[in-house]
Amino acid sequence: MVDQANFVFGHQIDELEDAVSRYSNCKFAVGVSNGTDAIRLSLLALGIGPGDGVLCPAFTYYATASAIASIGAIPIFTDIDPLTYNISPLSVEEVLKNKKHLKIKAAVPVHLYGQSADMESILKISRRFKLKLIEDNAQAFGALYKGKKTGTFGDCGAVSFFQSKNLGAFGDAGIILTNLRSLADKLKILRNQGNKRRYHHVVIGYNHRLDVIQAAVLQVKLKYLDQWNKRRQANANYFSRHLLNLPLITPFVAKHNTHIYHQYVLRLKSSNIRLNDYLNSRGIESRIYYTIPLHLQKCFGYLGYKKGDFPESERAAKEVLAIPVHPDLTKAQMDYIIHSIKEFFR
């Protein structure tokens, strides 16, 4: 690679795309620059543009909604299921009925923390309302819903390979899953400056190409992903067994789901801030994902949402807390985390 000075469209891109499509049991995979651009390009390839409404949960990372807004579309927020923290089908239906005046053309369900949203219900709704469906699979690459890999149910599945993900690059990287050849062809043109072939720009495209070095790294690491996810699951099970009888709720795993625990998220019966500060003071890198729901973020103030619009999202922001669950945790480290949480409640 270095000898050839081929750092943009080397054979490593094709090899990673083939490996990911095989792993996901999906016909096509298109490498892109990062997970945010994976959502953005998916929307563009599906014909979503300025003024179009796109549903997404109010409780997720900013990038889900920013990708929608970046193309001039309108993020239309929904509430979440209080058990899985994923998009609520009931809320989706309610929003669609109450906002008939808006031109809602797509939905972006997020598979938050490492387990799938209720895709059977979401698919039924999307068919009934003729919505394009882009799965935000940034945190659940490798998870299963009814035996099928997440990211392969909708028109597109947007994957992030940011360095902290279960499968992380040495920086930024992403990929888009699809079973439609026509869509894969559009995505390849859009990611590469609108080129169908060199210097023949057929559409206004973008520089959202996957870096060859990242593709090479990911191709090696993909071989170990299932093994790492099993360790995460074992660590999560250990935590859940040893955090019983405390004023908190351990992660709920929905029927038909396998959870790969990108995050192991506790839910407290009181504010999450004091426990987070306590654990941080003891050298434990706990974090609150996410402290402010998207509908209350200043940058989305122009959409007109207010406090109380999505109560489950607002409640989760005050009560959830993620503790380390990565595959390299030792038993001693996990015992220290467990002991520290018990000490806090004492």
User: How many residues does this entry show for the chain?
Assistant: 346
pLDDT at 1 over 80: no
Which of 108, 115, 217, 237 lies closest to 170, judged by CA?
Answer: 217
CATH number at residue 285: 3.90.1150.10
Tell me the pLDDT band of 128, cut-offs 50, 70 and 90: very high
pLDDT at 4 over 70: no
Domain assignment of residue 5, yes or no = no
Domain assignment of residue 240, yes or no = yes
Tell me: do 154 and 242 sit in the same domain: no
Domain assignment of residue 127, yes or no = yes
Tell me: do 161 and 18 sit in the same domain: yes
Domain assignment of residue 113, yes or no = yes
Q: What is the pTM of this model?
A: 0.96
Range of the domain at 284: 225-345
Q: What secondary structure does DSSP assign to 171-191, as a single string?
A: S--EEEEES-HHHHHHHHHHH
Tell me: do 21 and 163 sit in the same domain: yes
Domain assignment of residue 4, yes or no = no
**Percent of the chain at pLDDT exceeding 70:** 98
Mean per-residue pLDDT over the chain, rounded: 96
- Condensed to tens digits (0 to 9), the pLDDT of residues 240-297 reads 999 999 999 999 999 999 999 999 999 998 899 999 999 999 999 999 999 999 999 9
- Condensed to tens digits (0 to 9), the pLDDT of residues 159-185 reads 999 999 999 999 999 999 999 999 999
CATH number at residue 215: 3.40.640.10
Q: Write down which residue in 198, 222, 246 finishes a domain.
A: 222
Domain assignment of residue 58, yes or no = yes
122 within 8 A of 6, measured Cβ to Cβ: no
Q: Write down which residue in 168, 198, 222 finishes a domain.
A: 222
